[in-house]
Amino acid sequence: MHDPPPHRVVRLAGWERPFAGGRRMLAVPRTEIESVDRVDRPTAWAVTPGARAGVYVTGVLKLGRWGIGTPMHRFVSAWRHRPALRVRVTPAEAERLGYREIVVSCAAPEAHVAALSTVAAPATGS
């Protein structure tokens, strides 16, 4: 049996990188994942409130930093009609990463939720 990788990685496409500070990926240590869940409507205001720095095509696409002016900064790459994976990291990891949550549309988010739920630390009520 192999040990799981120490980090979980979101690889960013070339067109997403300018909205993530030029990074090729967002890597989060497994121990710094606080919670994960599937989001069925990731472009909804309830999922990504606050001001933004990025691209917003009403009801179709959100890409960039959301939550400016709120305590919850998010990296968002979400498409209408595509469910997303939402990963919340610990406050310490948010300081390093620059985001408290990562919300990304992906194929089969429930599989990622299942895999990541086994490593997520218990949420501390934030």
Total Cβ atoms within 10 A of residue 56: 15
67: left (phi over 0), alpha (psi -120 to 50) or beta: left
pLDDT at 33: 93
As given in the structure block, the two tokens for residue 77 are 């790459």
Q: Which residues contact 113 (CB under 8 A, 6 or more apart)?
A: 36, 37, 38, 85
pLDDT tens for 74-115 read 999 999 999 999 999 999 999 999 999 999 999 888 888 888
Q: What angle do CA 8, 32, 87 make, to 5 degrees?
A: 60
Which is higher by pLDDT, 92 or 5? Answer: 92
pLDDT tens for 38-74 read 999 999 989 999 899 999 998 899 999 999 988 899 9
Averaged over 20-32, what is the pLDDT? 92
The one-character DSSP state at 4 is P
d(CA 62, CA 42): 9
pLDDT at 118: 66
CA 23 to centroid of chain Cα atoms: 14
